[in-house]
Every structure is written in C-alpha cells, then in structure tokens.
Amino acid sequence: MIKRSIVVILSFFFTACIVLAAVAAVFFITPSRKARSSISLPAQVEDPEVVADENGEGNEDSTYDNIYIADVHQSLTLRTQPDSNATPIIEEGLAAMTKMQVIRYVENTNFAYVEVINGPYKGYEGYVNYEYITKLGEPTLRIGTD
C-alpha cells in the first residue's frame, strides 16, 4: 500500500513538473508584444538610391521600370547563354538582393538578359532565369525564408 502511494505521489509530481516546464517554455520562448513590434521584415524591397548613369548623373524615375533584384535563397546564376546548361559567368553566382536592369527578355524561354547595377559584379551582363528576379518595390518570394 505504501509503495502504491509513493508511485501515485511521484506520478503526480512528475506530471506537475512537465506542465510547469511547458508553461515556462511558452512564457520564455514567446516574444513579448514589444519584441514582436521591433522585429519586422519588409514585405517589399524598396531602394531610395538613384541609379547613376554612365556620366555619374542620376537618372529619372523611369529607370526604375526595369530594375529587379535577385529574389533567391542563396545565389542567382548569371549565364553566357539563355540556357540552364550554359556556362556561368560568375562561379559563385549573384547574391540575394543584387540589383539588375533587365535589358530584354528572350522569347520562348524563361531567361532575361540583364546588367548588374550594384555589388562586386556591377557592370557584368548575362542571362538569368527571370523566375528568380522580382521587380524592385514588389513583394519578394524567397528572400528571408529557408
């Protein structure tokens, strides 16, 4: 009888510890309202910078019509031809958020010919899969997610 009482008491104590641990985990893991309001990722990517032309002067807002960003998890391949088997121009690819200007779209493919306008590969031109670029100012699909 005493053994059974000890088992019941230990079971109750064990259950209470599990419930208390779950409540504590929820309390400490869930961010406060203040913390949630301070952590916000933009749903849209906007760039207040003016793209400089060849003379170093700012272009008009119409230049932004063809400005896109690399909307990728890791990198976007810049290729020599509009073909997914074509040779990459840059071994490591363009980083996420790299800005580029679309020069033209290639008919009957999912490729666009672009010029990179920022970052270490500024001035490079080549073909990218346009399914992985997003117009500057529009909601991104892949950036900030796994």
What are the pLDDT digits (tens) for 1-16?
A: 778 888 889 898 899 9
How far is the C-alpha of 86 from the C-alpha of 111, rounded, in Å?
12
pLDDT at position 23, please? 86
pLDDT at position 7, please? 85
Tell which wins on pLDDT, 27 or 70: 70
DSSP string over 60-86: PGGGGGGEEEE--SSEE--BSSSSTTS
Query: Do 73 and 52 form a contact (C-beta atoms < 8 A)?
Result: no
Q: What is the mean pLDDT of residues 36-60?
A: 51
Tokens of 123: 């001035």
